[in-house]
């Protein structure tokens, strides 16, 4: 019998159940797999890195150049390279991630050995937030192949059908055909999201601890991304849906099928074959056979898109090459584009590239010293994020944090390391205000504040951006009772404590991001303008009250409240706590390159084309015109799957008259204004020295 056959032979293993906080061992029958240990899997990763190259292997030109090797970028790379006639290049600023494979692949690494703050994190920060006691808020984003899908908490929670259909309707303009807009309705996006998935139901041993409601038909089968549940559950989770029911929030029997509101245990991006994280690289790239038409270059920071001097008046500006800096030797290089440049840098990366390419609001570009190629006011506008705040109790029961820090043999097993927080609930405005008349009164107040909000809160001089804000504001204000306004999340990762977080889902505050220098290596300026609209702090205040009610329904499972504590009770006290230290980000930035008509400050049309360009598209979380009541990973997989179909069907071809000059080939320096503004030390770096 071969080693693999031996491993596949039926065997018994111990699977823990959690009863009243104590570990009870039961014997269940199962099957081991050829790679039961994640670390064995990690040792084999180099065998699958066939498409990851060094700059010496670059071709001079590619049909498609994708800027960003994160969640969406790698999905697109995989799908577009399925056609052997397409040549595809991915330029990723971060590293491959191979050196940190154990941190990436082990699910609970997202809590206990986080990569936030490391070289695999962009380490973005906001400007000081006036309405958060002048706090600066960290916005971590993944800086490696897989992007934030390699470091996030792996929840798979979709938006509602109402939100998706509203997005499609909002995206319609006079220049779009109905078929393009219909791609973004629920029916088509539902199919695209399922296309990315391969769903595995929870194991019987898990179901015996926590009765998980699911409907396999709401998920995909045979897709690249593995979707399942942890190998073990902790007993506190079993109380989740019953506690929510006690607080008036029913169990959602079929999550992710178009209805959001209710309580459930979310599936996650987990591979049940070896209990590892399933993310865009492992799902869409590592599993591929060798493809000579796909190149992925880590350590390549895209600085600008370069436009042809000649462009067709009917099609718009034509990108003929992409400029990037290679971190291996700090050289500026250019790659010619034969068909399209696709931005997949996320809500922060994609607008930054556009701005440094001269595409964006003229006032921002002029102030930064970047020549205007295309005035497009919406770039960087409509910026939104989900804020969250947690109520914390002590508990007499054992948490995942207790088990992890015990450093027991069990805590080091792949089964335990697959446990992540999965208990969530979504509530609408009526549930948030306790099903009283206060809900209707609050909604009326929000609707009445539209004009004042639009004139005072939208940071722009362009009327079309203001009109876009009004359109989205009206939409989200109208469905406050029909869609979820707040998410509740159960967290068990700290020793001796349990947290229930209240996360705002449809913020009315709007911010922006922009540049203030012409140097693409300088940080982008991020200003979400948290709590600039009164509705956001009111909804989170009521969310804290609701979380407390759920805590009461848990009974003796929870002990004394630690945070914000028994001294914080009145509305004024809760709001002061939220502004002072309680509220922070849920890490879901969106909408900075919104899919809206140009007359509403939009950046891309329903075909994902940047308005005013012939061959630039954006496919990432920056295109959502409003925040969804969801986690953004699942819907972004759907966007990337949709984008691949759109691009395959009608990709632009750069005419020979607009091709990049042969003199500017791979690896050559190109004259650009921002080099003259760089410090001497950086100029030395560009000459081939290492960064200090």
Residues marked as catalytic: 588, 631
Cα–Cα distance between 322 and 319 in angstroms, integer?
Answer: 8
C-beta separation of 530 from 433 below 8 A = no
Q: Would you list which residues are annotated within the binding site for FAD?
A: 302
Burial 525-556 (b: 16+ CB within 10 A, else e): bbbbbbbbbbbbbbbbbbbbbbbbbbbebbee
Comparing CA positions, the residue from 533, 550, 539 lying closest to residue 473 is 533
Burial class (CB in 10 A: 0-12, 13-18, 19+), 597: buried
Residue 324 and residue 426: Cα distance in Å, rounded? Answer: 42
Which 3 state secondary structure label does DSSP give 621?
A: helix
The CA angle 450-456-461, to the nearest 5 degrees, is 110
In the beta sheet, which residues pair with residue 91? 67, 297
Whether 41 contacts 85, CB under 8 Å: no
CB-based contact 349:492 (threshold 8 Å): no
The tokens for 661 are: 């000059």
> Are the C-beta atoms of 257 and 264 separated by less than 8 Å?
no
What sign does the CA torsion over 126, 127, 128, 132 have?
A: negative
CB neighbour class for 682 (10 Å; exposed up to 12, middle 13-18, buried from 19): middle
Distance CA 562, CA 497 (A): 9
Which two three-digit tokens encode residue 672?
């650009």
The residues that bridge with 13 in the sheet, in sequence order, are: 28
Bond from prior residue into 564 cis (ω within 30 degrees of 0): yes
Residues 264 and 425 sit within 8 Å (Cβ to Cβ): yes
Whole-angstrom distance, CA of residue 590 vs CA of residue 437: 32
Partnered with residue 10 across adjacent β-strands are 31
């Amino acid at each position: 019998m071969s080693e693999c056959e031996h491993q596949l032979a039926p065997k018994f293993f111990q699977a823990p159940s959690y009863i009243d906080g104590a570990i009870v061992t039961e014997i269940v029958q199962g099957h081991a797999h050829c790679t039961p240990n994640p670390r064995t899997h990690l040792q084999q990763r180099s065998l699958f890195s066939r498409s990851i190259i060094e700059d010496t292997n670059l071709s001079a030109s590619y049909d498609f150049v994708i800027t960003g090797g994160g969640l969406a970028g790698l999905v697109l790379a995989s799908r577009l390279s399925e056609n052997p006639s397409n040549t595809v290049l991915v330029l990723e600023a971060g590293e491959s991630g191979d050196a940190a494979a154990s941190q990436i692949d082990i699910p609970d690494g997202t809590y206990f050995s986080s990569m936030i703050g490391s070289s695999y994190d962009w380490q973005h920060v906001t400007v000081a937030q006036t309405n958060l006691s002048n706090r600066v808020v960290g916005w971590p984003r993944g800086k490696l192949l897989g992007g934030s899908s390699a470091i996030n908490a792996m929840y798979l929670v979709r938006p509602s059908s109402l939100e998706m259909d509203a997005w499609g309707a909002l995206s319609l303009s006079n220049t779009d055909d109905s078929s393009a807009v219909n791609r973004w309705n629920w029916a088509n996006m539902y199919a695209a999201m399922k296309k990315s998935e391969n769903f595995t139901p929870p194991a019987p041993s898990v179901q015996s601890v926590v009765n998980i409601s699911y409907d396999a038909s709401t998920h995909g089968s045979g897709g690249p991304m593995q979707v399942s549940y942890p190998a073990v559950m902790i007993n506190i989770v079993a109380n989740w849906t019953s506690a929510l029911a006690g607080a008036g929030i029913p169990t959602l029997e079929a999550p992710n099928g178009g209805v959001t509101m209710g309580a459930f245990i979310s599936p996650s991006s987990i591979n049940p074959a070896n209990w590892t994280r399933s993310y865009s690289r492992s799902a869409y790239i590592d599993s591929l056979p060798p493809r000579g038409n796909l190149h992925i270059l880590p350590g390549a920071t895209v600085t600008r898109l370069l436009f042809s001097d000649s462009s067709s008046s009917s099609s718009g500006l034509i990108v003929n090459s992409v400029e990037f800096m290679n971190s291996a030797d700090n050289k500026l290089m250019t790659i010619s584009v034969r068909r399209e440049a696709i931005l997949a840098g996320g809500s922060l990366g994609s607008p930054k590239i556009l701005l440094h390419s001269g595409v964006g609001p003229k006032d921002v570009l002029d102030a930064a010293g970047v020549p205007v190629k295309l005035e497009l006011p919406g770039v960087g506008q409509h910026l939104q994020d989900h804020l969250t705040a947690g109520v914390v109790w002590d508990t007499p029961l054992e948490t995942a944090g207790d088990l992890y820090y015990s450093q027991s043999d069990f805590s080091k097993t792949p089964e335990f390391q697959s446990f992540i927080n999965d208990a969530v609930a979504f509530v609408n405005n009526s549930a948030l205000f306790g099903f009283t008349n206060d809900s209707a009164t609050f909604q009326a107040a929000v609707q009445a504040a539209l004009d004042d909000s639009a004139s005072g809160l939208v940071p722009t001089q362009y009327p079309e951006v203001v009109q876009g804000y009004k359109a989205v504001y009206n939409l989200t204000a109208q469905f406050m009772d029909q869609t979820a306004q707040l998410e509740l999340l159960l967290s068990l990762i700290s020793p001796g404590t349990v947290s229930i977080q209240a996360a705002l889902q449809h913020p009315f505050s709007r911010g922006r991001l922009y540049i203030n220098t012409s140097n693409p290596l300088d940080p982008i300026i991020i200003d979400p303008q948290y709590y600039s609209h009164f509705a956001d702090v009111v909804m989170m205040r009521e969310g804290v009250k609701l979380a407390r009610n759920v805590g009461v329904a848990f009974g003796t499972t929870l002990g004394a409240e630690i945070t914000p504590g028994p001294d914080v009770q009145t509305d004024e006290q809760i709001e002061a706590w939220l502004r002072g230290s309680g509220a922070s980000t849920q890490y879901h930035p969106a909408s900075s390159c919104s899919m809206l008509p140009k007359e509403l400050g939009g950046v891309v049309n329903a075909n994902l084309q940047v308005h005013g360009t012939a061959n630039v598209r954006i496919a990432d979380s920056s295109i959502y015109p409003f925040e969804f009541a969801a986690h953004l990973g699942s819907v972004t997989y759907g966007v990337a799957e949709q984008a691949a179909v759109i691009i395959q069907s009608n990709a632009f071809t750069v005419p020979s008259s607009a091709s990049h000059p042969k003199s500017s080939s791979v690896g050559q320096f190109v004259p650009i204004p921002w080099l003259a503004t760089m410090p001497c030390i950086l100029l030395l770096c560009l000459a081939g020295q290492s960064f200090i």
